């Protein structure tokens, strides 16, 4: 083939492919989510979705990302981990999303790790500190909040400094050993061991055996890494049997636990991994309130909507850095290159050796009036 003929052929092929590329550049950027939109996590998942979609709408209203709008494709997993993997496969292989975000099941993400490692699509900000998905680094998995290990170091360390030595531990039985290990490691760092521990089912309604087992160990403090229901039932059950010690929960249980515990809430210590969602002196929080007002007026700002806002904001930064020739792999590279990104009083950093974007942990206690004080 002569040079002239080759050049002509390449020019012809360029004319054939150019319209397709131009059309692609104006199509929505598809983002996938698997969440418990029905079942016991439905309220929590609705808040996650509201936070994500509100921020995406804000970005779209202001020109999108490199001229392209964002579109969230949300699949319901009903809070069941086996559904999370199936949803993830669909989003990646059928819907061809560029990224995954805001998953609400830590156990489901853990179930999906092998698949996630086999593809190049990034997953950003699963809404959990689950240590099973943080025990080793996964190149495609990025966290925008502190893990339960950081939470446990702080809350257990604070109690140990006050001279408390007898700790009971409660954690879920359907996740790997990472969460329990984080609790034991925090105790070990203070030369302590647990006097009782109770693995529990997130879907159970009867926690009598856990209550009796914990009471038998005579703990001064009971620490939880569970969802809302086990915590509420166990606290109520132990108080009903005369327990007068301290309860501490990780951020997993959510702020609604205060409302659900009612008169048993005062004294409960909660660990949180974001600024208080009503402290609008934080630029990030002020922005979040405005975005919800403009694009999700029925949603109320809380820790969950704010965490989703953070996730969406970090993703958008990665998409912008990835540029116009957007691919999942280019997005992974762009996210990995984020250093000390100040979102307005909350900082996120990644590196080739770390996907733990934040170490921010704060603790509060429920007052006698039922208010959370920091």
Q: Which residue reads 């049997």 in tokens?
A: 241
Do 332 and 273 contact (CB within 8 A), yes or no? no
23 pLDDT exceeds 70? no
Question: Are 301 and 336 within one domain?
Answer: yes
pTM equals 0.85
Q: Is residue 72 part of a domain?
A: yes
The pLDDT confidence band at residue 20, using thresholds 50, 70 and 90, is very low
Give strand ranges (E) for the chain. 29-35, 70-76, 99-101, 123-124, 141-142, 167-172, 194-200, 221-225, 246-249, 269-272, 341-342, 347-348, 362-366, 372-373
Which domain does 291 fall in, by range? 11-146+278-348
3-36 residues labelled b (16+ CB within 10 A) or e (exposed): eeeeeeeeeeeeeeeeeeeeeeeeeebebbbbbb
Chain segment 248-259, per-residue pLDDT in tens: 999 988 888 999
Q: What's the rounded Cα separation, in Å, for the pair 354 and 86?
A: 27
Question: Are 78 and 100 within one domain?
Answer: yes
Mark which of 272, 304, 329 sits at the end of a domain: 272
pLDDT of 41 reads: 82
The pLDDT confidence band at residue 315, using thresholds 50, 70 and 90, is very high
Chain segment 261-289, per-residue pLDDT in tens: 999 999 999 999 999 999 999 999 999 99
Question: Are 268 and 320 within one domain?
Answer: no
pLDDT of 19 reads: 31
The mean pLDDT value of the chain amounts to 92
Do 363 and 158 contact (CB within 8 A), yes or no? yes
Q: Is residue 137 part of a domain?
A: yes
150 pLDDT exceeds 90? yes
Mark which of 272, 294, 315 sits at the end of a domain: 272
Question: Are 59 and 104 within one domain?
Answer: yes
The distance in angstroms from the start CA to the end CA of the chain is 75
Question: Are 293 and 197 within one domain?
Answer: no
Question: Are 113 and 160 within one domain?
Answer: no
Question: Are 195 and 237 within one domain?
Answer: yes
The pLDDT confidence band at residue 24, using thresholds 50, 70 and 90, is low
Mark which of 272, 299, 320 sits at the end of a domain: 272
pLDDT of 203 reads: 80
Question: Are 200 and 261 within one domain?
Answer: yes
The pLDDT confidence band at residue 135, using thresholds 50, 70 and 90, is confident
Do 32 and 92 contact (CB within 8 A), yes or no? yes
DSSP secondary-structure letter at 65? B
pLDDT of 25 reads: 65
> How many distinct structural domains can be found in the chain?
2
Residue 113's φ and ψ, nearest 5 degrees, are -60, -45
161 pLDDT exceeds 60? yes
Q: Is residue 359 part of a domain?
A: no
Q: Is residue 40 part of a domain?
A: yes
Q: What is the CATH number of the domain that holds 132?
A: 3.40.50.2300
pLDDT of 145 reads: 97
């Amino acid at each position: 083939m002569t040079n002239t003929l080759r050049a002509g052929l390449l020019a012809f092929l360029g004319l054939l492919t150019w319209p397709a590329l131009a059309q692609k550049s104006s199509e929505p950027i598809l983002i996938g989510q698997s969440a418990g939109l029905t079942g016991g996590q439905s309220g929590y998942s609705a808040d996650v979705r509201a936070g994500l979609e509100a921020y995406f709408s804000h970005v779209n209203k202001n020109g999108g990302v490199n001229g392209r709008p964002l579109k969230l494709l949300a699949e319901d997993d009903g809070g069941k981990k086996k559904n999370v993997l199936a949803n993830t496969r669909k989003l990646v292989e059928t819907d061809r999303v560029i990224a995954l975000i805001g998953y609400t099941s830590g156990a489901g993400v853990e179930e999906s790790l092998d698949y996630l490692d086999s593809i190049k699509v990034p997953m950003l900000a699963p809404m959990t500190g689950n240590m099973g998905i943080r025990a080793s680094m996964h190149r495609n998995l990025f966290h925008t909040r502190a893990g339960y290990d950081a939470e446990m170091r702080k809350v257990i360390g604070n109690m140990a400094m006050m001279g408390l030595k007898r700790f009971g531990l409660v954690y879920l039985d359907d996740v790997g050993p990472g969460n329990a290990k984080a609790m034991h490691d925090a105790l070990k760092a203070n030369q302590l061991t647990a006097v009782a521990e109770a693995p529990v089912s997130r879907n159970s309604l009867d926690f009598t055996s856990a209550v009796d087992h914990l009471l038998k160990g005579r703990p001064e403090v009971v620490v939880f890494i569970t969802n809302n229901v086990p915590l509420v039932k166990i606290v109520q059950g132990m108080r009903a049997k005369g327990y007068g010690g301290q309860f501490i929960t990780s951020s997993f249980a959510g702020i609604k636990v205060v409302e659900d515990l009612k008169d048993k809430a005062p004294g409960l210590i909660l660990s949180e991994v974001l600024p208080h969602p009503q402290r609008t002196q934080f630029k990030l929080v002020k922005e979040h309130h405005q975005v919800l007002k403009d694009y999700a007026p029925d949603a109320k700002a809380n820790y969950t909507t704010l965490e989703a806002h953070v996730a969406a904001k970090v993703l958008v930064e990665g998409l912008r850095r990835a540029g116009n020739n957007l691919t999942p792999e280019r997005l992974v590279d762009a996210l990995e290159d984020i250093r000390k990104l100040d979102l307005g009083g909350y900082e996120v950093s990644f590196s080739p050796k770390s996907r733990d974007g934040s170490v921010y942990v704060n603790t509060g206690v429920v007052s006698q009036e039922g208010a959370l004080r920091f």
